[in-house]
Amino acid sequence: MVTIRGAQPEPYCPYFRHAVELIGRRWTGAILRALQADVCHFSALVGVIPGLSDRMLSERLRELEAEGLVERHVIPEMPVRVEYGLTAKGRALGEVFAAISAWAAAWHDDAP
């Protein structure tokens, strides 16, 4: 969907719906934000996101990998290590997350 500055957007756009539902899934935004901050190991991701279970992180990382936002790197050492990182598509969300963070900071109500 392309809109001209000042023009009203279309009332429905399937691409927008898909994007919002993707990043709006439980824990997905927090995972993407942590990956943007260069937290790249599974256990480190669990550690920086309170309440996130291993099972849910694994599920979300698989979804994000399937969507082309995250890539998984296996490092063949003993023990084997796995690192996650954002693809170019995932890094392109940086401005979106910065805008959401600014909005959240401006409109927060001090709720946890």
Query: Which CATH number belongs to the domain containing residue 82 in this structure?
Result: 1.10.10.10
Residue 111 maps to a domain: no
Looking at residue 18, its pLDDT comes to: 94
Residues 6+ apart with CB under 8 A from 92: none
pLDDT at 65 over 60: yes
Q: Indicate if the alpha-carbon torsion angle 84, 102, 18, 9 is positive or negative.
A: negative
pLDDT at 71 over 90: yes
Residue 29 maps to a domain: yes
Tell me how far CA of residue 81 lies from CA of 41, 72, 77, 90, 93, in angstroms.
Answer: 8, 10, 7, 22, 26
pTM of the model: 0.84
Looking at residue 3, its pLDDT comes to: 53
Tell me the Cα Rg of the chain: 16
pLDDT at 39 over 90: yes
Number of domains in the chain: 1
Report the alpha-carbon distance of residue 37 to residue 30 in Å, rounded: 11
